Amino acid sequence: MRVYELVLVLKTSLSETNRKKLLETIKGFLPDFKIVKEEEWGQKPLAYSITREIAGYYLNWVFELKGELPKDFEKKLITNDNILRHLLLKKK
């Protein structure tokens, strides 16, 4: 099992329903995984504006994945307009 940590910064303009749909979509990108820890840090101001957003909605996931991380996973995060920033770390 490989352990990863993912921090997401989402647009604050997303409604609760759309945010949940987005998170389910992201979970769909990861085959055969288990979330160990899921934290919602909530809305926080950004140090600088990103695509005219001055605040972001922060989430933190620690998850275990059997096998390799899909090669296009980060590309899908980058190309999603509702995700302002992400940080993906492989933990030991």
Every domain of the chain and the residues it spans:
2-91
Q: Does domain 2-91 have CATH number 3.30.70.60?
A: yes
Query: Which strand ranges, in their side-by-side order, compose the sheet holding 53-65?
Result: 33-50, 53-65, 2-11, 83-91
The pLDDT score that the predictor gives to residue 44 is: 97
The pLDDT score that the predictor gives to residue 67 is: 83
Residues 60, 9: contact at Cβ < 8 Å? no
Burial class from Cβ neighbours inside 10 Å (0-12, 13-18, 19+) for residue 36 reads middle
3-state secondary structure of 78: helix
The pLDDT score that the predictor gives to residue 25 is: 95
Name the pLDDT band for 84 (thresholds 50, 70, 90). very high
The pLDDT score that the predictor gives to residue 63 is: 96
The pLDDT score that the predictor gives to residue 49 is: 95
* Helices within the chain (DSSP H only): 16-29, 73-79
Name the pLDDT band for 90 (thresholds 50, 70, 90). very high
Over the stretch 17-74, which tens digit does the pLDDT of each residue have?
999 999 999 999 988 899 999 999 999 999 999 999 999 999 999 999 988 899 899 9
Burial class from Cβ neighbours inside 10 Å (0-12, 13-18, 19+) for residue 74 reads middle
